[in-house]
Amino acid sequence: MKTLDEIDSSPGGESVVKPVEPHKKHNVMSAQPEGDQSGNTGTHSGKPLKRGVKAAAIVIAAISVFVLLRAPARSAHKPASVVQGEVQASEIKVVPKVAGRVQALHVRQGDKVQKGQLLVALENQDLQAKLEQARAAVELAKEHHRIVQAACVEDICAQSNWWVNAKAFAERAEKTVNRSRALQAAKVISLQELQDSERDLDWARSAERAAKASFDLAVAVFGNEGKLVVAGNLEQATRTLAELEALVGELAITSPIDGEVQGRIVGQGEMATVDLPVVSIVDPQGVWVSFHLPEDLLSNIRMGTTFRVRVPDLGNEEVPVTVNYISPNVGLAAKGARGLDLRIFEVRAIPAQATQGLRSGMSAVLTWRDFN
């Protein structure tokens, strides 16, 4: 290898290579000029040093620029975490209040229904029979009440007169028996006549007791106390009828909300009980997005936080949602970066605006880079 000082230009333009003397070798790493050498001013010995420094500076500057430009590029292309959730909706399971056999089904799965619309008709013959009995009891109570209300004081007076006359007759019969006993003792009348008078007294006393009972009944029935009793009987019969009519009305099961039939749980002719639903209805307006997130992803999520989710079933439409519920922990996730067990939290977010076509069961995708 030849150094730059060993190359010189000849008059003819050709380069001439001169041999290097051992005592005149240049150390490119030394910055000491050799101007004290015989016939050498040091001009050619400083050029390699300056060029090396410049080259090193250029390399260092290029590396610095590359690093500075590469760092944000790596950050910009950092893979984003993607979290998948699910769109859910309020679902109401309609349960009958009374048991019965399914007589008719008036809706099918997927039907739109309105509040109060008939869903299922049940049949309960025992309940219908009790209803007819209650109606008959009410009619009888009404008639009794009408009779009592129409009764006047003369009815009670008539019963009173009968009792007074029967009592007077019994008193006369008793006096007759006492006189007959005295006469029979004096042998004035026979024993048969005495016994006849005693039978008349027994009959008179029985008649008096009957008249007294009839008078008490008239007072109880036609008096104020009797009127209250009859009115109470009518009220009780009316209340029982109303309760049975309400139960029979529950045999017609109607929709409690405006919504969509999610499914029919019973079929035609099956027995429906009070503890099992017959129809499930979904409220399409009451939808939300549910995510199950480990706790290390919750640092930027609070109640009221708004973000956007992508719904693939709607052509990747972005839907703005607002967090309205963060549940307590529901389980354990995988080990975190520090080797700790991470709790799982359910986060619910409701759409910030009405979104056409958003339905329960659709997937919702959240790109976690938006929170970093």
Q: 69 or 241: which carries more pLDDT confidence?
A: 241
Q: Is the pLDDT of residue 130 over 60?
A: yes
Given the structure tokens 């009410």, which residue do they identify?
138
Confidence at residue 230, expressed as pLDDT on a 0 to 100 scale: 74
Confidence at residue 73, expressed as pLDDT on a 0 to 100 scale: 45
Q: Select from 138, 97, 93, 66 the least CA-distant residue to 246.
A: 97
Mapped onto helix, strand or coil, the DSSP state of residue 312 is helix
Helices marked H in the chain = 47-76, 125-150, 153-185, 191-222, 224-249
Q: 343 or 280: which carries more pLDDT confidence?
A: 280
Provide the greatest CA pair distance for the chain.
205
Q: In the structure encoding, which two tokens stand for residue 163, read together?
A: 């009792």
Q: Select from 259, 282, 364, 362 the least CA-distant residue to 90.
A: 282
Q: What is the mean pLDDT of residues 345-356?
A: 87
* C-beta pairs of 177-182 under 8 Å, 24+ apart in sequence: 177/201
Q: What is the mean pLDDT of residues 101-128?
A: 91
Q: In the structure encoding, which two tokens stand for residue 36, read together?
A: 């004290």
**What are the tens digits of pLDDT across the range 202-218?**
888 888 888 888 777 77
Work out the pLDDT band at 245, boundaries 50, 70, 90.
Answer: very high
Q: Left (φ > 0), alpha (ψ -120 to 50) or beta: where does 187 sit? A: left
What is the per-residue burial (b if ≥16 Cβ within 10 Å, else e) of 277-294? bbbbbbeeeebbbebbbb
CA–CA separation, 358 vs 351, rounded Å?
Answer: 10
CA–CA separation, 56 vs 161, rounded Å?
Answer: 144
Q: Select from 240, 268, 249, 255 the least CA-distant residue to 124.
A: 249
Confidence at residue 1, expressed as pLDDT on a 0 to 100 scale: 42
Q: 226 or 230: which carries more pLDDT confidence?
A: 230
Confidence at residue 64, expressed as pLDDT on a 0 to 100 scale: 61
**What are the tens digits of pLDDT across the range 293-313?**
877 777 788 888 888 899 998
Q: Is the pLDDT of residue 29 over 90?
A: no
Angle of helix 125-150 relative to helix 224-249, nearest 10 degrees, comes to 160
Given the structure tokens 């009440």, which residue do they identify?
145
Which DSSP string do the residues of 206-221 spell out, in sequence order?
Answer: HHHHHHHHHHHHHHHH
Q: Of the CATH numbers 3.90.180.10, 3.40.630.30, 2.40.30.170, 2.40.50.140, which one belongs to the domain with range 82-90+282-371?
A: 2.40.30.170
What are the CA-CA distances from residue 334 to residues 292, 293, 295, 297, 301 (Å)?
Answer: 13, 11, 11, 13, 20
Given the structure tokens 């703005």, which residue do they identify?
320
Given the structure tokens 């001009």, which residue do they identify?
43
Q: Is the pLDDT of residue 233 over 90?
A: no
Confidence at residue 301, expressed as pLDDT on a 0 to 100 scale: 85
Confidence at residue 337, expressed as pLDDT on a 0 to 100 scale: 55
Q: Which of 44-53, 65-74, 302-311, 357-366 has the lowest mean pLDDT?
A: 65-74
Q: Of the CATH numbers 3.90.1750, 2.40.160, 1.10.287, 2.60.40, which one belongs to the domain with range 123-249?
A: 1.10.287
Q: What is the mean pLDDT of residues 168-193?
A: 83
Confidence at residue 48, expressed as pLDDT on a 0 to 100 scale: 58
Q: In the structure encoding, which two tokens stand for residue 349, read together?
A: 């977010």
Q: What is the mean pLDDT of residues 60-75?
A: 54
Q: Select from 320, 291, 336, 366 the least CA-distant residue to 82.
A: 366
Confidence at residue 210, expressed as pLDDT on a 0 to 100 scale: 87
Q: Which of 2-6, 101-105, 365-369 has the lowest mean pLDDT?
A: 2-6
Confidence at residue 133, expressed as pLDDT on a 0 to 100 scale: 93
Q: Is the pLDDT of residue 336 over 70?
A: no
Q: 21 or 253: which carries more pLDDT confidence?
A: 253
Confidence at residue 171, expressed as pLDDT on a 0 to 100 scale: 85
Work out the pLDDT band at 334, boundaries 50, 70, 90.
Answer: low
Q: In the structure encoding, which two tokens stand for residue 195, read together?
A: 């016994």
Share of residues in the chain with pLDDT > 90 (%): 21
Exposed/middle/buried for 187, CB within 10 Å: 0-12, 13-18, 19+? Answer: exposed
Sign of CA dihedral 148, 150, 154, 158: negative
- Domains 82-90+282-371 and 123-249 equal at CATH topology level: no
Q: Which of 75-84, 139-148, 247-256, 334-343 is most confident?
A: 247-256
Confidence at residue 231, expressed as pLDDT on a 0 to 100 scale: 76
Which DSSP string do the residues of 243-302 spell out, in sequence order?
Answer: HHHHHHHTTEEE-SSSEEEEEE-S-TT-EE-TTS-SEEEEEEEEEEEEEEEEGGG-TT--
Residues listed for the chain: 372
Average pLDDT, the chain: 76
Q: What is the mean pLDDT of residues 29-33?
A: 40
**What are the tens digits of pLDDT across the range 38-56?**
444 444 445 555 666 666 6
Q: Select from 301, 288, 314 the least CA-distant residue to 345.
A: 301
What value, to the nearest 5°, has the Cα angle with vertex 15 and ends 10 and 21? 90
Q: Where are the chain's structural domains?
A: 4-75, 82-90+282-371, 123-249
Work out the pLDDT band at 121, boundaries 50, 70, 90.
Answer: very high
Q: 23 or 204: which carries more pLDDT confidence?
A: 204
Q: 27 or 330: which carries more pLDDT confidence?
A: 330
What lies within 8 Å, CB to CB, of 242 at 6+ separation is none
What lies within 8 Å, CB to CB, of 371 at 6+ separation is 297, 299, 300, 301, 307
What are the CA-CA distances from residue 5 to residues 41, 42, 53 (Å)?
Answer: 13, 11, 18
